[in-house]
Amino acid sequence: MSDPVSTPPAAERAPPATLVIFGAMGDLAKRLLMPSILNLMRDGLVGDDVGIVGVSHHDADDAALRDSLGQFVGKGDDAETAGAAWQALAGRIHYVRGSFEDAATYATLADRIEGNAAFYLATAPGFFGTIVDRLADAGILDESAGFRRVLIEKPFGHDLASAQALNARILARIPESQIYRVDHFLGKETVQNIMVARFGNALLEAVWNSRYIDHVQITAAETVGVGTRGTFYDATGALRDMVPNHLFQLLAMIGMEPPNSFDAEAIRNEKAKLLAAVRGPRPERVERDAVRGRYRAGQAGDATVPAYREERDIAADSRTETYAAIKLEVETWRWAGVPFYLRTGKALAARDTEIVVMFKPVPFALFRDTDVTRLPPNRLVLQVQPDEGISLDFVVKKPGPVVDTREASLDFRYADSLPLGHRTGYETLLYDALTGDQTLFQRADMIEAGWAAVQPVLDEWGKAGDPEDYDAGSAGPAAADELLARDGRQWHRIGA
Ligand code: BG6
């Protein structure tokens, strides 16, 4: 029998281009963007016709930028090959010093670019609108000499109104087709795999609805505290930082209808439809259906953390939450009546990003002496990180003359057969931006739908009250357990 799975064509090398990084002396550039470019070079997906221009206000020059960007090169298990790629790239890295607000910066930049260019805004979010305005004023976003694409990091706005305002400001200067709003969760292999698991397997899609699914849990737990990001985090909080963006992207992958093609717009249309159907708690339900927590001092995994309010750059009277849990409904034919419970937090028991799909119990107690309420329902766990994989729990008969049951599990772990390799997750995003594929980037309507769903919670939490304290290294505040217990359910154990 012939292999029914055809071999996909090898990905093509990205076209020649200049990658301009605003905020080039910052963390994102050296920790994630540079290693990603090197990985792409090593894979032959980016050639020696791609150069880098870093823009920043720091007093530096080409050599200083190269030093800064080279800091993390070859720190993984790939030291040798990364080193070789770095030698080839370093000579094509140039620095432009200047303020992001100053027209002169852009005049200098314009002289450094010809042909294709992608602009990566790895800056504080307050600069996003200004940089796009100045680039456009300087004529740099005109595409007559080559493509000109703008990549914008999160956070995109800090609530619905500010996200709408930022979208309006940017869209007044360039069309959606030139805008690549980054949500780095979409660069993760296992997140992209959700779509393949769903739409490549008849078995799953057949039961993927309210008739068979009881509820869905989406978790992004971290052991680390806020570390050095106190200023940013205290003004942001767990909900804004993770929920309307990263967790909603996972939700969209789980909930979307099958697109009618693999085109970027077809996929983004389906995700946008799903996100527009997400209903967060109404104001009067916020207290019941949304939970906020804040960590106490303690040991979380390998991390020893001080109490949140004792962390560097955190206000002593801060009311910012470091944990958020929320119950959502998705108002579509497929999902009516199926709750989605989302939670995320810092200083928790384990690093664990996962989606748990809980199926309904079987309808009838068939087995003598085995009460149906004792039959655990099927459970599908999509493990995004770490230990990436998929597992399905189901019931089997225990060997022996009497019919008795126990739980078993079908486990697929990437590490066993398809190692993911040393990847940052930004490789795909950079490659897609250079090749013009917007599938994995957020469109204006998706961003706004995400904020709209959580806005009542932001409003209520902004008015009064404090988060509930939880111990570092625990599973979060007690109220989060009560949220599910009220519905007769419980969370999947963090790190299980
Ligand atoms: C970022 C958040 O967007 O995502 C961080 O700002 C968070 O607070 C991070 O730690 C989590 O990403 P990852 O890839 O480590 O799961």
Question: Which of 57, 158, 215, 246 does the annotation list as catalytic?
Answer: 246
Same domain, 360 and 408: yes
Across 348-358, average pLDDT: 98
- Residue 237 CB partners (closer than 8 Å, separation 6+): 292, 320, 321, 322, 324
Across 383-401, average pLDDT: 91
For 17, the enclosing helix (H) or strand (E) is: strand 17-22
- Let me know if residue 321 belongs to a domain: yes
Domain final residue pick, 133, 153, 173: 153
Domain of 116: which CATH number?
3.40.50.720
Q: Is residue 362's pLDDT more than 90?
A: no
Same domain, 224 and 348: yes
Same domain, 146 and 195: no
Same domain, 148 and 190: no
Asked whether the CA dihedral 252, 208, 281, 473 is positive or negative, the reply is negative
Same domain, 242 and 321: yes
Render pLDDT for 10-33 as a digit per residue (tens, 0 to 9): 789 999 999 999 999 999 999 999
Side-chain-facing half-sphere of 140: CA atoms under 13 Å = 26
Residue 273 is labelled as binding a ligand = no
pTM recorded for the entire structure: 0.94
- Let me know if residue 468 belongs to a domain: yes
Confidence tier at 3 by pLDDT (50, 70, 90) = very low
Domain final residue pick, 153, 177, 199: 153
- Let me know if residue 169 belongs to a domain: no
pLDDT score recorded for residue 4: 47
d(CA 193, CA 189): 6
Structural domain that includes position 253:
186-423+443-485
The CA 105 to ligand 1 mean position distance, Å, reads 31
pLDDT score recorded for residue 2: 43
Buried b or exposed e, range 315-331, using 16+ CB within 10 angstroms: eeebbbbbbbbbbbbbe
Domain of 465: which CATH number?
3.30.360.10
Across 264-281, average pLDDT: 98
Return the best residue to mutate from 32, 242, 429 for the ligand 1 pocket (most ligand atoms within 8 A of CB): 242
Protein residue closest via CA to atom 14 of ligand 1: 185
Q: Is residue 333's pLDDT more than 70?
A: yes
Q: What are phi and psi of 295, to 5 degrees?
A: -80, 145
Same domain, 144 and 279: no
Protein residue closest via CA to atom 9 of ligand 1: 242
Cα→Cα distances 396→206, 400, 408, 413, Å: 22, 12, 6, 21
Does 72 or 240 have the greater pLDDT score? 240
222 close to ligand 1 (CB < 6 Angstrom): yes
pLDDT score recorded for residue 78: 63
- Let me know if residue 106 belongs to a domain: yes
Same domain, 102 and 193: no
- Let me know if residue 376 belongs to a domain: yes
Across 294-314, average pLDDT: 95
Same domain, 199 and 56: no
Same domain, 105 and 210: no
289 close to ligand 1 (CB < 6 Angstrom): no
Same domain, 124 and 219: no
**Structural domain count, the chain:** 2
Asked whether the CA dihedral 268, 270, 273, 275 is positive or negative, the reply is negative
Annotation marks residue 246 as catalytic:
yes
Render pLDDT for 99-156 as a digit per residue (tens, 0 to 9): 999 999 999 999 999 999 999 999 999 999 999 999 999 999 999 999 999 999 999 9
- Let me know if residue 167 belongs to a domain: no
Residue 241 is labelled as binding a ligand = yes
Confidence tier at 375 by pLDDT (50, 70, 90) = confident
pLDDT score recorded for residue 1: 41
- Let me know if residue 172 belongs to a domain: no
- Let me know if residue 161 belongs to a domain: no
Same domain, 68 and 201: no
Same domain, 147 and 193: no
Across 390-396, average pLDDT: 93
241 close to ligand 1 (CB < 6 Angstrom): yes
234 close to ligand 1 (CB < 6 Angstrom): no
